[in-house]
Structure 1
């Protein structure tokens, strides 16, 4: 933050940003279908016209391969916007619900009301998608938005600040750049909702700041996502899907990337060989030279991953990979076998290209391992055993579960995406984002007919009988009370 509390970009301080947005929301213009649709169309144009700029920014921030940028970020963001535009009128339409006998005659509905002024704080690992996707839903719901992109992906953050105002109503949608001081200044303000994507440590700070104003929050966090492999799988397909879910997702820098594998000790050698084979097919004999593998985002995260690898408790446990290049910020896809549970790599979310494998005698022991840890954002199971699959879905508490694949549930806008416990609060994607940024307002419509004198004092014995019968659904008693029987 600059002098006198000024935020970079427009010379406003955090309070001015919020008051300006609140004034724009107060004008009522964001409530119309036309305004919302115009903003969504503008974002689609931005994505189409600035695709190469987006690719270049992500290449600079993460050395992300062009195809990975398109598949995992650009295409998903565009699809999200197209879906919101297509479904917007239906999402906005009040939901009719049945009314009760006690209010007869009447009609009832649930109206999706915009919350107002919302703050979106996004993450660096998918800096384009995780910024624009929640903005799309917030706009569709009729809100005004302040977007705070991550300073750890500065090129993408600068790109948003430069191009987004050219495609949307900049009085209602603002980009605020900066780092911790700017974020802190924003969190001191009163918002109507905050959505944060990142880690649990910062998530707690977000919640603490929001509590001062009783601001509701959505926290998209992470955790150690387990992956269980049964011995009855198609080994070739399984290894490829694990490998692409781990190293094809930002080289493991993804909240839904598999964090550790659980398999039986008898099956582990076959799985390890298959994973090694997939890694070599994907990234060649020297993955450090592969153009298809993202680098570690910065030196701090490189050092953090180095500490995990240098932990004495995993000495001799690396069975594949482990190469590092600090200048290039690259770490090769790395497999570790039978790491102890008290090692750093099993106590922290890895968020990188390291993949520990834990072996058990029986695959069903996986439930004790998983349930001994905090609830993950995602949990994966590879099996042909339907009973094991059913038990996994019923027994494992996770934000989402995927059977016989990894991370693909993230791409389905008809599924809610969010965590549980320490992996997050709330969810979004598709209509779930619209609902996240809407208040479901109850509305009951009545006319001036249908008066029932029993609701008004004085409460005679006859009125009490009538109301008791009405509220308990006692039809016989209701009829008797109406006709005044038995008579006193």
Structure 2
């Protein structure tokens, strides 16, 4: 998994280098100007924020740590990289190899847990980027607010399965998203909503899918993972133990290696223990609803999710979810794949996060767009209209010059033609003055 993510990051940079350079050139171009600024130089300067704190996460300790770091460095920032103690081996590796390849005055790596994170947040930074759960995200936000430090927070997806879907394909795509990395992915499906009759058919399709993916015993499959540590295992096991009557598939655990089998819970209610927090494990609750309107009502009344997944062949149903709900991302008829499209922004909204990144947006995230305007100290007579005293005549002239539309065309007004002529003449005089210098 980690080799794949490293190759993916390198491939991203290599395959998109021309587009990145083209985008940078476009961004550094002069911006459009109104007529009153025709003689001025106006541009947007991409400036680094300064010192960036990047707090990585343990479930994808390479990709979710190095991707934002690359963007921050490309934008010209210095980076303090906080890795996770839970993914201890990878964190120690980064702590060892990063100083070998990157400027030690520009990049520092700190390994540790919540205590170290708390200590780091006492310092002042120019930007903070955090990937993880909402509770720590709130702590990061509180610390950032002390200095009005800008932040990006990436903090979990909801599913609705409509009627008349190919449930075998639906089962494959949902369980792929739910069981990859043993469900320890921020955009993994949290729960499924569907009608009662669809629930039974979907469960049967999921039984076939699990057997196709992992055969009779997922614990012996090289393609199936384990939970990150004992604490997370005990939390998920407690949810399963309190949901014995709802288990439709799986429910098997082994604390020796933090194993939890692919588990599907049926007839779950929103007040059940399985729904009280983000699952972050391979346990999928199914909640029966009467129709899509009831599903939308539950989504709208809850916190805005990081991702939402809709399975439907009905355009009206798809449009209804698209227009009536809010989420960080929306995928129709699949799960999680939007995170792999580098031209799409990846981020949350409301309780699921702040800001977005991926692809060129990662670079933009760590840049301040500085407005730059440069003028020449000539033709001062034309500037007198904006200086006091503000006579009635001056006010009338300013109103006419700054009016957005004059009979739909500026050339229909003799006064506008005169103003434009004066500006063009002034521009030519300015160019001549610069030339003879």
TM-score by length of 2: 0.89
1:284 aligns with 2:215: yes
After the TM superposition, which residues 167-182 of structure 1 pair with which residues of structure 2 at under 5 Å, given as runs? 167-182=101-116
Structure 1 contact 81–136 (Cα < 8 Å) conserved:
no
Structure 2 contact 41–375 (Cα < 8 Å) conserved:
yes
1:117 aligns with 2:51: yes
> What SS does the corresponding residue of 1:227 show, helix, strand or coil?
strand
Residue 403 of structure 1: aligned partner: 332
Tell me by how many angstroms 1:447 deviates: 2.5
Tell me by how many angstroms 1:262 deviates: 0.9
Tell me by how many angstroms 1:88 deviates: 4.0
Residue 126 of structure 2: aligned partner: 192
Per-residue Cα deviation, 1:411-450 (whole angstroms, up to 9, x for no partner): 1110000000100000110111111100011112322345
Distance in 2, matches of 1:480 and 1:77, equals 55
Judged with a 3 Å threshold, the aligned counterparts in structure 2 of structure 1 residues 264 and 470 are, in CA distance, closer, same or farther, namely: same
Distance in 2, matches of 1:351 and 1:162, equals 29
Residue 313 of structure 2: aligned partner: 384
Distance in 2, matches of 1:134 and 1:84, equals 16
Tell me by how many angstroms 1:461 deviates: 2.7
Residue 159 of structure 2: aligned partner: 227
1:89 aligns with 2:21: yes
Judged with a 3 Å threshold, the aligned counterparts in structure 2 of structure 1 residues 416 and 480 are, in CA distance, closer, same or farther, namely: closer
Residue 205 of structure 1: aligned partner: 139
The answer for unaligned runs of 5 or more in structure 1 is 1-67, 483-488
After the TM superposition, which residues 10-409 of structure 1 pair with which residues of structure 2 at under 5 Å, given as runs? 68-71=1-4, 73-82=5-14, 85-93=17-25, 94-222=28-156, 225-248=157-180, 250-311=181-242, 314-409=243-338
Residue 427 of structure 2: aligned partner: none
Tell me by how many angstroms 1:106 deviates: 2.0
> What SS does the corresponding residue of 1:228 show, helix, strand or coil?
strand
Distance in 2, matches of 1:324 and 1:190, equals 44
Distance in 2, matches of 1:135 and 1:81, equals 13
The answer for unaligned runs of 5 or more in structure 2 is 420-437
Tell me by how many angstroms 1:479 deviates: 4.9
Structure 1 contact 84–136 (Cα < 8 Å) conserved:
no
Distance in 2, matches of 1:83 and 1:423, equals 31
Distance in 1, matches of 2:127 and 2:229, equals 30
> What SS does the corresponding residue of 2:304 show, helix, strand or coil?
coil
TM-score by length of 1: 0.80
Judged with a 3 Å threshold, the aligned counterparts in structure 2 of structure 1 residues 284 and 479 are, in CA distance, closer, same or farther, namely: closer
RMSD in angstroms over aligned alpha carbons? Answer: 1.9
> What SS does the corresponding residue of 2:60 show, helix, strand or coil?
coil
Distance in 2, matches of 1:477 and 1:148, equals 64
Per-residue Cα deviation, 1:53-107 (whole angstroms, up to 9, x for no partner): xxxxxxxxxxxxxxx4444x23332233335644443343314321123333223
Judged with a 3 Å threshold, the aligned counterparts in structure 2 of structure 1 residues 149 and 325 are, in CA distance, closer, same or farther, namely: same
> What SS does the corresponding residue of 2:188 show, helix, strand or coil?
coil
Distance in 2, matches of 1:206 and 1:477, equals 59
Structure 1 contact 465–481 (Cα < 8 Å) conserved:
no
Residue 15 of structure 1: aligned partner: none
Judged with a 3 Å threshold, the aligned counterparts in structure 2 of structure 1 residues 282 and 70 are, in CA distance, closer, same or farther, namely: farther
Distance in 2, matches of 1:481 and 1:82, equals 53
Judged with a 3 Å threshold, the aligned counterparts in structure 2 of structure 1 residues 102 and 321 are, in CA distance, closer, same or farther, namely: same
Structure 1 contact 88–140 (Cα < 8 Å) conserved:
no
